[in-house]
């Protein structure tokens, strides 16, 4: 009986030790994965033919942030606060660019007039409280609309498409998100959760999509362009999408188009000490100044 007790105790101790080793190993593997992702980003940047460091401090007006610009015709990248531009962060609502393509690619939606049904919840944003078309949902950044799209496509297919697109860390493991919003349908892995992408990678992904270097159908890309259009002047067009978090994070990214020439950009702000000054509107203002 005593011998059996000793064996049982030894087994329990071994189990605890193995559990601890497993947890440590998992932490090491996560760290190594993050380091590998970072080295990939740095390698991609270093392979660019030409690189320019910009001083845009006046445009950012004391708010912590970064900017990336890319000209495919010159194969030239320009950076403000390059180190920050290579750090992976949550895409927030800029992910609606990708979820639009995923929805079109999987026939969940057909074009900018495709309507999804509102569930009757009274959301703080009154523009979301009705059945919405893709165009209206994109322009009002309606989370529930794109949450429906992603759920209908499913985790396996979304993960596959993000991997093929090389979209940041491609991590959709926290599928339902981190509950940063009070309604389940206003949360997801792209909102302050598992999915992360750097401003540099955002520009890379945009250029692959709109330079016809992705697997997405050209007709679907044209539908996306139509709903991304924010300025159409004689000198050219500007396309873009905003995004913002809950702790002083904000995005504006997109591209300009003059004839057949496109230039891509991403502005990202992250300043928890000045949250009242940080907004996607401010990020957009900065970007429009930079690309003038």
pLDDT digits (tens, 9 = 90+) for 214-273: 999 999 999 999 999 999 988 899 999 999 999 999 999 999 999 889 999 999 999 999
Distance CA(23)–CA(139), nearest Å, equals 44
* pLDDT at residue number 281: 97
CB atoms within 10 A of CB 178: 14
Residues in the chain: 292
pLDDT at 23: 43
C-alpha to C-alpha distances, 88 to 30, 116, 195, 203, 259, nearest whole angstrom: 14, 31, 9, 13, 32
- For residue 94, how far is the Cα from the chain centroid? 5
* pTM, full prediction: 0.84
CA end-to-end span of the chain: 84
The pLDDT value given to residue 260: 85
d(CA 206, CA 224): 11
Pairing of strands 115-116, 229-233: unpaired
- Percentage with pLDDT > 70 across the chain: 83
What is the structure's pLDDT at 17?
Answer: 40
Note whether 197 and 170 are within 8 A (CB).
no
At 124, phi and psi to the nearest 5?
-55, -35
What CATH class has 33-290?
alpha beta
- Tokens representing residue 141 in the block: 């950044």
The 10s digit of each residue's pLDDT in 234-250 is 889 999 999 999 999 99
Report which DSSP code applies to 111. S
Regions of the chain where pLDDT drops below 70: 1-49
SS3 283: helix
């Amino acid at each position: 009986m005593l011998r059996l007790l000793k064996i049982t105790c030894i087994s329990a101790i071994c189990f605890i030790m193995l559990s601890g080793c497993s947890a440590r190993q998992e932490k090491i593997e996560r760290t190594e994965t993050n380091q590998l992702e970072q080295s990939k980003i740095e390698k991609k940047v270093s392979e660019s033919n030409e690189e320019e460091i910009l001083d845009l401090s006046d445009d950012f007006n004391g708010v912590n942030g970064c900017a990336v610009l890319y000209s495919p015709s010159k194969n030239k990248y320009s950076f403000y606060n390059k180190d920050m531009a290579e750090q992976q962060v949550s895409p927030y609502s800029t992910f609606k660019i990708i979820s639009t393509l995923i929805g079109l690619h999987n026939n969940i939606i057909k074009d900018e007039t495709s309507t999804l049904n509102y569930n009757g919840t009274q959301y703080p944003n009154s523009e979301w409280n009705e059945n919405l078309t893709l165009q209206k949902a994109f322009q009002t950044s309606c989370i529930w609309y794109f949450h429906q799209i992603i759920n209908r496509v499913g985790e396996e297919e979304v993960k596959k498409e993000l991997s093929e697109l090389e979209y940041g860390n491609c991590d959709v493991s926290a599928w339902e998100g981190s509950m940063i919003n009070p309604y389940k349908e206003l949360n997801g892995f792209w909102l302050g959760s598992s999915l992360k992408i750097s401003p540099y990678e955002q520009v890379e992904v945009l250029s692959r999509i709109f330079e016809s270097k992705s697997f997405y159908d050209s007709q679907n890309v044209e539908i996306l362009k139509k709903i991304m259009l924010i300025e159409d002047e004689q000198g050219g067009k500007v396309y873009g999408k905003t995004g913002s978090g809950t702790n002083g994070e904000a995005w504006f990214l997109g591209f300009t188009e003059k004839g057949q020439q496109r230039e891509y950009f991403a502005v990202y702000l992250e300043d928890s000490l000045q949250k009242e000054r940080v907004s996607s509107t401010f990020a957009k203002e900065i970007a429009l100044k930079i690309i003038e």
